[in-house]
Every structure is written in C-alpha cells, then in structure tokens.
C-alpha cells in the first residue's frame, strides 16, 4: 500500500472517530470517551496536512493545465512551481507523520547518570550532565524528582537516578542513552594537559504497574542503615532498601527517604522501568537481526557523544553532528541538538517505509 492509500485510510478512520465524538452517549462511558478522544487527537494533525496536500495538489494540476494557454503560460508556470514546492514539502512531512509511533513516546522517564572512567573528573562531568538535563526539563516545563543520589565531597556525582515527568519526555530524550565523553583540562591539572573522562546516561521509559507485573516471590528485599549525609534519623534506622530481582539479577537500592515504605516505592519504580527497558531491548535486538542497519538500536556500549571544552564543541558521533556552542548546551539549550537527533533517526526509519 503506497503512502496516499495509507493516508486515505487514516482520513476514513478519523472521520469515524469524529462521528463517535458526536455521540451524546459517549460521555457516559469515561474510558471509551478517553480512548476515542485520544485517537481523534492523534490523527487530527495527519488528516489536516493530508487535506491541505490534496488541495495543493488540485491547485497544482489546475495551474499545470493553464500552462497550455500561451497568454497564461508564464504566470501559470510561476504558480505551478510554487505549488509544487509546497506539495513536495507536505509530502515529506506526511511521510514522517505516518511513521509507526513509538508506544513509549508519551511516557515519563527514569534518567540514570553514572560517573565512568576518569576518577573525580568523571564525577564532576556526571554532575554537569545532570544539571544540563535538569535545566532542559525546566525549559520544557517538566517536573524532575531525584529518586536516589550518590555524590562526592567535591560536588561531583557518582550516580543519580531521577524521574522526569511531563509531555513527551521519552520522545525527546530517548536518543541520549549511551557513553558521553568529556575532553578538557581539569582545574587540578597544573600542566594544562587535556584529560578524557566519561559518564554513562540511561533513559528508561517509566513503566506502568499494568505493563510490568512483578511477582513478590521473585524479589529479595534487604533493609540496611542509610549512609552518607542525612542526619541521625536517616543513618540510624533501617530505612534503606535494596531490591534484587532474582530472575534477571537486577539490583536497585534507595536510601534517600527516612521512610522505608517510600524508599521501597521508589526502588520499585526504578526496577519496573529497568525491566520494561529489558523487554524493549529484546524487541529491538530481534528486529535488528532481521535488518542490515543497526541504527537506533540504543546500544549503550558505544561512545555516542564528545564534549570538547578547548574547542567549544559538542560532537555526536552517531550522526556526525558538530555544534560549537558548548556553554549554551550545558545550560540546557538542547533543542537544536535534540531536533537534529530526532530528524536523523526519523530519516533512518523512513528508509524502511514505502515511499510514493
């Protein structure tokens, strides 16, 4: 089925949903109303663009026909060329709009950042990455909640796990998973030698309780006294929680709250998201085995990005993108970067789709 046939089917489905939305009895069924309204909203932009495309296509054909009239030829050609440019732009947009949607795009995310190689400099870099994503979340109006934090005495971060909530968080951040590398002269380096350090970033879609059912029999739950700052109440009671998922060996622990119950709830939130991520990775690996291209599989072992301070440059190695505005990016102005990433991976996805 070619693109225009698919779009015609989408328009037909949209019109069916529009008729359902006009049914007075729909409001008495909240769940059916919610699903119908969501389906209508999801298709509306596609259908409006498709209808615009059909109108522009009609006008272009009329202008092309007028080119047979010698007196109208010059004006008709100019109009046709303008309409053809618009028609092609709409067609390109429609190809993107009908791509299969990632079911996790609307989800909140569990963001995990860990210092890698490089000692204290790696911890400081991990802290800067967390600040970068936190500032970006503020710009987008998202909420960020730290679930667990392990810091160093010099302001660095060994590990931080946070929940970021808002609209299309996973859609914007899902390509950030991987090894991030920094190249710069540390403040403690007297000889001016450039050091290379790393930090790992994982972006996991937040799992709903319904999506990932966890059997209590598969869990080993250990309690212990929290360590580090937090005062006498935190450090002398068995409020910290360590949960081991026996079938997979995943281990999650949380100690930031005084309440054992709250720590367990936070740890379970992280565990469910990691289990969901495992399922997503299995699906991607299965698809990748049947494709030549491995682009977009989300492998975390590769170095995806370099932050080069002497050259004021950020390089994303997956798409060969260089941006010479490092301070702005680290301050959370990530849209130029994330837009480019999204465009690249959409283009890769388009290669698998039927074209007109």
Residue-wise pLDDT for 307-353, tens only, equals: 999 999 999 999 899 999 999 999 999 999 999 998 888 877 776 65
Residue 216 CA to residue 77 CA, distance in Å, equals 71
Q: Are 92 and 353 in contact (CB under 8 A)?
A: no
Mean pLDDT of 62-84: 90
How far is CA 192 from each of CA 113, 198, 356, rounded to the nearest angstrom?
A: 28, 19, 56
In the beta sheet, which residues pair with residue 202?
112
Residue 321 CA to residue 294 CA, distance in Å, equals 19
Predicted confidence (pLDDT) per residue in 317-330, tens digit: 998 999 999 999 99
Q: Are 341 and 319 in contact (CB under 8 A)?
A: yes
Which pTM value belongs to this model?
Answer: 0.67
Report the pLDDT value the prediction gives residue 92, as an integer from 0 to 100. Answer: 84
Report the pLDDT value the prediction gives residue 95, as an integer from 0 to 100. Answer: 82
Measured over the CA atoms of residue 95, residue 167, residue 104 and residue 277, the dihedral's sign is: positive
pLDDT band with cut points at 50, 70 and 90 for residue 296? very low
Predicted confidence (pLDDT) per residue in 182-232, tens digit: 999 987 676 778 899 999 999 988 877 556 778 888 889 888 876 654 444
Residue 288 CA to residue 297 CA, distance in Å, equals 7
> How many angstroms separate the first and last alpha carbons of the chain?
10
* Average pLDDT for the chain: 84
Spell out the SS3 assignment of 8-74.
HHHHHHHHHHHHHHCCHHHHHCHHHHHHHHHHHHHHHHHHHHHHHHHHHHHHHHHHHHHCCCCCCHH
Residue 338 CA to residue 92 CA, distance in Å, equals 20
Residue 245 CA to residue 253 CA, distance in Å, equals 11
Specify burial of residue 59 (Cβ count, 10 A radius: 0-12, 13-18, 19+). middle
Report the pLDDT value the prediction gives residue 165, as an integer from 0 to 100. Answer: 95
Residue 10 CA to residue 100 CA, distance in Å, equals 13
Report the pLDDT value the prediction gives residue 88, as an integer from 0 to 100. Answer: 92
Mean pLDDT of 36-59: 91
Report the pLDDT value the prediction gives residue 231, as an integer from 0 to 100. Answer: 43
Report the pLDDT value the prediction gives residue 137, as an integer from 0 to 100. Answer: 97
Mean pLDDT of 132-146: 96
Residue 97 CA to residue 48 CA, distance in Å, equals 11
Report the pLDDT value the prediction gives residue 292, as an integer from 0 to 100. Answer: 35
Q: Report the relative pairing of strands 143-151 and 219-224 from DSSP bridges.
A: unpaired
Report the pLDDT value the prediction gives residue 148, as an integer from 0 to 100. Answer: 86
Q: Are 296 and 221 in contact (CB under 8 A)?
A: no
Q: What is the DSSP letter of 165?
A: E
For the cut 50, the answer to whether the pLDDT of residue 48 exceeds it is yes
Spell out the SS3 assignment of 275-303.
HHHHHHHHHHHHHHHCCCCCCCCCCCCCE
DSSP characters over 209-273: TTTS---GGGEEEEEE---SSS-HHHHTSS-EEEEEETTTTEEEEE-SSS-HHHHHHHHHHHHHH
CA 170 to chain centre: 3
Residues in contact with 348: Cβ distance below 8 Å, sequence separation at least 6, in sequence order: 293, 295, 296
Q: What is the DSSP letter of 189?
A: -
Percent over 90 (pLDDT), the chain:
42
DSSP characters over 293-353: --TTS--SSSEEEEEETTTTEEEETTTTEEES-HHHHHTT--HHHHHHHHHHHHHHHHTTS
Domains of the chain, each with CATH number or no CATH = 3-97 (1.20.58), 109-209+301-350 (3.30.70.1660), 216-281 (3.30.160.20)
For the cut 80, the answer to whether the pLDDT of residue 172 exceeds it is yes
- Classified as helix, coil or strand, 159 is strand
Q: How many CB atoms lie within 10 A of CB 201?
A: 21
Report the pLDDT value the prediction gives residue 228, as an integer from 0 to 100. Answer: 53
């Amino acid at each position: 089925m070619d693109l225009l046939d698919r779009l015609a089917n989408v328009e037909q489905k949209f019109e069916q949903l529009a008729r359902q939305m006009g049914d007075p009895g729909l409001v008495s069924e909240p769940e059916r109303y919610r699903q119908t309204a969501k389906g209508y909203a999801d298709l509306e932009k596609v259908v409006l663009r498709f209808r615009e495309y059909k109108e522009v296509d009609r006008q272009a054909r009329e202008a092309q026909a007028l080119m047979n009239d010698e007196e109208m030829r010059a004006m008709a050609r100019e109009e046709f060329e303008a309409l053809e440019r618009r028609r092609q732009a709409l067609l390109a947009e429609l190809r993107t709009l009908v791509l299969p949607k990632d079911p996790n795009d609307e989800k909140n995310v569990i963001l995990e950042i860990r210092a890698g190689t490089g000692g204290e400099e790696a911890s400081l870099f991990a802290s800067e990455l967390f600040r970068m994503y936190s500032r970006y979340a503020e710009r987008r109006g998202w909420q960020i909640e730290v679930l667990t934090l392990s810091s160093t005495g010099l302001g660095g971060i060994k590990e931080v796990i946070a929940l970021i909530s808002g609209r299309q968080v996973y859609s914007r951040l899902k390509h950030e998973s991987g090894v991030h590398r920094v190249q710069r002269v540390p403040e403690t380096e007297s000889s001016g030698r450039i050091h290379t350090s790393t930090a790992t970033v994982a972006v996991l879609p937040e799992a709903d309780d319904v999506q990932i059912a966890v059997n209590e029999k598969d869990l080993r739950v250990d309690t212990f006294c929290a360590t580090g700052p937090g005062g006498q109440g935190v450090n002398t009671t068995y409020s910290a929680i360590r949960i081991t998922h026996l079938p997979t060996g995943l281990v999650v622990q949380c100690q930031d709250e005084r309440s054992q119950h709250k720590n367990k709830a936070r740890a379970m939130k992280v565990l469910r998201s990691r289990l969901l991520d495992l399922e997503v990775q299995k699906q991607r690996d299965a698809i990748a085995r049947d494709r030549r291209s491995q682009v977009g599989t989300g492998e975390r072992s590769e170095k995806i990005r370099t932050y080069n301070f002497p050259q004021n440059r950020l390089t994303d190695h997956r798409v060969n993108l260089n941006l010479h505005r490092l301070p702005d990016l680290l301050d959370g102005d990530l849209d130029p970067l994330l837009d480019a990433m999204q465009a690249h991976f959409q283009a890769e996805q388009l290669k698998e789709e039927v074209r007109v």
